[in-house]
Amino acid sequence: MLNPRLETLLDSPFRRIDRLLEPIKPPSGLKPVILTVGEPQHPQPDLLAKVLRENEHDYGTYPPIPGTPEFRRAVADWLTRRYALPAGMIEPDRHIVPVSGTREGLFLLAPAVVPETKGGGKPLVLMPNPFYQAYIGAAVAAGAEPHYVAARAETDFLPDLASIGPANLARAALAYVCTPTNPQSTVGDLDWLKRVILLAREHDFVVAIDECYAEIYDRAPPPGGLEACAQLGGSMKNVIVFHSLSKRSSVPGLRSGFAAGDPEVIARYTRLRFYSVAGMPMPVFAASTALWREESHVEANRAIYRRKFDMAQRAIGNRFGFRRPAGGFYLWLDVGDGERVAKELWGKAAIKVLPGGYMARDVPGEVNPGKQYIRIALVADERATQEAMQRLAEAL
């Protein structure tokens, strides 16, 4: 007997794009550039290999699920510095737990917080539409109903959670939101974050704020959920933020991140994690501790993205609703028909991009909010990006 709930999960966007492009041959003289997956291809920080090597004797230990004290301290210090939080607001032992990448962390939060029923019905898990795949996987696996909140140009590509109405809000058990956003690379400001948090408290749901792109930004550092909590008086009730080294330090294969926030949620979530996750190897804890304490490699990483944003801006200009990413590293271009243009770019220019509709769901009575877009992940190195932007500008 298979779990029928999983029928809700479609094939991954990356399988779908491979299937779509399979019959199309890219031009033989052009080297393909893959801009579908958000996997940074920038140099890894030197610090990483050094610390991993120094700690390689430690693979003989099962990793502690709550992390090492040094890791939690480094994370608490980083959060406090990054978001100018009051000293002592983040207590390393109560407010932080490591995750093996935010994908795993986001997923496992749902079974820790979604009850059997809420507001007299099946619990809802709210998520923006389009959204990151782990959110729907989590909702479905936890036995909740995914509820999509459109994130279109009219709302600055942010979901307006209050728009779903009181009956749905009463059933909401968990909401996933993301800032900077994937796929649109916009940033929710402090007012938006505060509204989301106050709504979660009013209707008693947990809000998971996915901040894995927080350290990739063009000008101003994006504000964060815990910063909003501090401004609302300091309580982190109902709020969990997620951070990752995958984008910040260009190490998506390290599988290192953390969750932080409401101590009651962290306690319950950690208890579930003791029963499920493998944990981060000890050398990875040591390397992650060092990386959260070091900023110069992150600044260098941001500088590479800024140069690539310049290349994209020069190549695309004002066409297709181009916006320079305020945070994150995706271009979200309004090309009219994402699938058609993805095929064209592969066939004419050997560039692989994601049709925006693959990241969104069809909601009855609404236009799929991703359909008219393509998502371009600016993750290749600078030379490949320059080449890709030129080819893209010519092909479009």
Ligand X SMILES: Cc1ncc(COP(=O)(O)O)c(C=O)c1O
The binder of ligand X chosen from 210, 215, 218, 227 (CB under 6 A): 210
Residue selected from 159, 252, 261, 369 as contacting ligand X according to rule CB under 6 A: 252
Nearer of residues 101 and 123 to ligand X, judged by Cβ: 101
257-261 β-sheet, strand order: 96-99, 257-261, 239-244, 206-210, 172-178, 124-129, 145-150
The distance from CA 233 to its chain's CA centroid, rounded to whole angstroms, is 27
Tokens, residue 364: 């009855």
Binding flag, residue 281, ligand X (CB under 6 A): no
Nearer to ligand X, 126 or 230 (CB): 126
Among 55, 244, 250, 368, binds ligand X (CB under 6 A): 244
* 262 is a site residue for ligand X (CB under 6 A): no
Contact pick of 55, 168, 185, 246 for ligand X (by CB under 6 A): 246
Task: Looking at residues 363 to 382 of the shown chain, list those that interact with ligand X (rule: CB under 6 A).
Answer: none
29 CB-near residues (< 8 Å, 6+ apart): none
Query: With binding defined as CB under 6 A, does residue 250 bind ligand X?
Result: no
Of residues 92 and 180, the one with the C-beta less far from ligand X? 180
Least distance (Å) between residue 181 CB and ligand X: 8
Closest distance to ligand X from the beta carbon of 327 (Å): 11
Q: Toward ligand X, which CB reaches closer, 63 or 101?
A: 101
Q: How many residues bind ligand X (CB under 6 A)?
A: 13
Per CB under 6 A, 301 contacts ligand X = no
Query: Going residue by residue from 71 to 110, which x/- string records binding to ligand X, judged by CB under 6 A?
Result: ------------------------------xxx-------
Residue 327 lies near ligand X (rule: CB under 6 A): no
Q: In whole angstroms, how close is the CB of 142 to ligand X at the nearest point?
A: 17
